[in-house]
Amino acid sequence: MKVTPIDAYKTYISLKNHFTQTNYDFLKYNGKVKASEKSFYKRKDRFWFEKLSRQKDDDEIISFFVANFSLSDNPDKLWIGELIKSGNDNFLKWQKKIQSLSYNFKEEIESIFLDKEFDSFFALKNRSHPKILKLYLSKEISLETLIILDSILGYKKSFDRNIDDPIWNSVSMKMEKYSPFLNIDIVKYKNMLKKVVLNK
């Protein structure tokens, strides 16, 4: 189902709020934002939303914005014009990543956990970044793997309590905001993790 330009605009605003504001939840509020049609047609950038509405249907447009906001280091600074120009590349990469989620997870956990002390990756020492966070920051593991591991182990709450650090705060918020859009079969991923950790 095709969306109207103003619907594309509202989805953009609501998902941008979701990824940048602690008190806004796209799913809880069903993407609702205060935006009138009158104000929309006064915007100089409305052309981009008109273009996007011709390119994407209802489901695709949500995934398009989720892909781009989750991949961005500064989602609050993502301008719609940039998204239309280069966002499709990110969208295609994200789609491939989601389609290969279990494969990528297996590859990443095998590369980091085999022959290594598992608990040490989540240990908090002298207020330094835990190993698992360092691996994410150095792009050795993906945000998706970080979220799946938290779904299994629940380490994020402990990190939130014990790490007072802007870098972790940013990663923690991104995990929290992005995770509802991932379809994670916890039993499946838990079994994959057990096989890797117990068979090392």
Which two tokens mark 179?
Answer: 């995770």
Task: Pick the closest to residue 178 from 9, 26, 33 (CA basis).
Answer: 26
Q: How far apart are CA 56 and CA 40, in angstroms?
A: 19
CA dihedral 51, 79, 144, 63 (to 10 degrees): -20
Residues 77 and 105 in one domain: no
Question: CATH number, domain at 108?
Answer: 1.10.220.50
Which two tokens mark 186?
Answer: 């916890």
What's the distance, CA 8 to chain centroid? 20
Residues 94 and 9 in one domain: yes
Residues 83 and 106 in one domain: no
Which two tokens mark 46?
Answer: 């409305």
Residues 107 and 65 in one domain: no
Question: CATH number, domain at 13?
Answer: 1.10.8.60
Residues 79 and 47 in one domain: yes
Per-residue pLDDT of the chain (200 residues; tens, 9 = 90+): 678 999 999 999 999 999 999 999 999 999 999 888 888 988 888 999 999 999 888 889 999 999 999 988 888 888 888 888 777 888 999 999 999 999 999 999 999 997 778 999 999 987 789 999 999 999 999 999 999 999 999 999 999 999 989 999 999 999 999 999 999 999 999 999 999 988 75
Residues 13 and 65 in one domain: yes
Q: How many domains does the chain have?
A: 2
Domain that holds residue 86: 5-98
Domain boundary among 98, 116, 133: 98
* Cβ-based neighbour number of residue 125 at 10 Å: 9
Domain boundary among 63, 78, 98: 98
pTM: 0.91
Residues 84 and 135 in one domain: no
Identify whether the C-beta of residue 185 lies closer than 8 Å to the C-beta of residue 105.
no
Domain boundary among 98, 121, 149: 98
